[in-house]
Amino acid sequence: MSKKILINVRPNQTRVAFMSNDKLIDLQIEKRTSPTLVGGIYKGRVERVLPGMQAAFVNIGLERSAFLYVGDITQNLNDGEKEKFSDEMEEINDSLPVKSIDSLEQDQKIPIQDLLKEGQMILCQVAKDPLGTKGARITTHISLPGRLVVYMPNILHMGISKKIEDESERTRLKNIVEKINPKGGVIVRTAAEGLKDEEIKIDLEYLDLLWKDVDKSYARRKTPGALYKDLDVELRAVRDYMSSEVSEVVVDDRKVFKKVNSFINQFMPKFKNMTSLYSKAQPLFDSYNVDLEITRSLGRKIWLKSGGYLVFDEAEALVVIDVNTGRYVGKKDIDETILQTNLEAAQEIAHQLRIRNCGGIIIIDFIDMENEAHKDQVMTMFLDELSDDRSKTKVTSISELGLVEMTRKRIRPSLVSKLTEACPYCDGKGYVKRRMTVANEIFRSLERESVRAGKGNTAYVQCHADIADWIYEEDAVSLDYVESRIQSPVVFRVEKDFHLEEYVVRIDSEA
**Residue 89's domain is classified under what CATH number?**
2.40.50.140
Domain of 470, CATH number, reads 3.40.1260.20
Nearest to 82 by CA among 171, 164, 159, 152: 152
Q: Taking residues 55-63, report their average pLDDT.
A: 94
Q: How far apart are CA 304 and CA 199, in angstroms?
A: 45
pLDDT above 90 (res 164) = no
Q: Taking residues 453-459, report their average pLDDT.
A: 80
Residue 499's φ and ψ, nearest 5 degrees, are -65, 155
Render pLDDT for 42-52 as a digit per residue (tens, 0 to 9): 999 999 999 99
Q: Taking residues 338-360, report their average pLDDT.
A: 92
pLDDT above 50 (res 303) = yes
CB under 8 Å to 270, separation ≥6 — which residues? none
* Residue 237 within a domain: no
Task: Judge if 101 and 142 occupy the same domain.
Answer: yes
For the ranges 28-32, 318-322, 378-382, 441-445, the lowest mean pLDDT is seen at 28-32
Q: Taking residues 20-39, report their average pLDDT.
A: 89
Amino acid at 465: A
Q: Where are the alpha helices (DSSP H) in 268-398?
A: 284-287, 290-297, 334-356, 372-386
Q: How far apart are CA 286 and CA 252, in angstroms?
A: 12
Q: Taking residues 160-173, report their average pLDDT.
A: 89
Contact status, residue 442 vs residue 478, Cβ threshold 8 Å: no
Among candidate residues 384, 419, 454, the one where a domain is terminated: 419
Q: What is the pTM of this model?
A: 0.79
pLDDT of residue 322: 94
Q: Taking residues 328-342, report their average pLDDT.
A: 81
Task: Judge if 306 and 413 occupy the same domain.
Answer: yes
Render pLDDT for 404-440 as a digit per residue (tens, 0 to 9): 999 998 778 888 888 888 888 777 778 889 999 999 9
Task: Judge if 112 and 177 occupy the same domain.
Answer: yes
Q: Taking residues 271-297, report their average pLDDT.
A: 92
Task: Judge if 130 and 47 occupy the same domain.
Answer: yes
Q: Domain containing 7: what range?
A: 3-32+245-290
The count of domains in the chain is 4
pLDDT above 80 (res 79) = no
pLDDT above 70 (res 127) = yes
* CB-based burial label for 293 (10 Å; 0-12, 13-18, 19+): middle
pLDDT of residue 27: 92
pLDDT of residue 50: 94
> pLDDT higher for 67 or 134?
67
Task: Judge if 158 and 258 occupy the same domain.
Answer: no
Task: Judge if 221 and 115 occupy the same domain.
Answer: yes
Nearest to 392 by CA among 413, 416, 411: 411
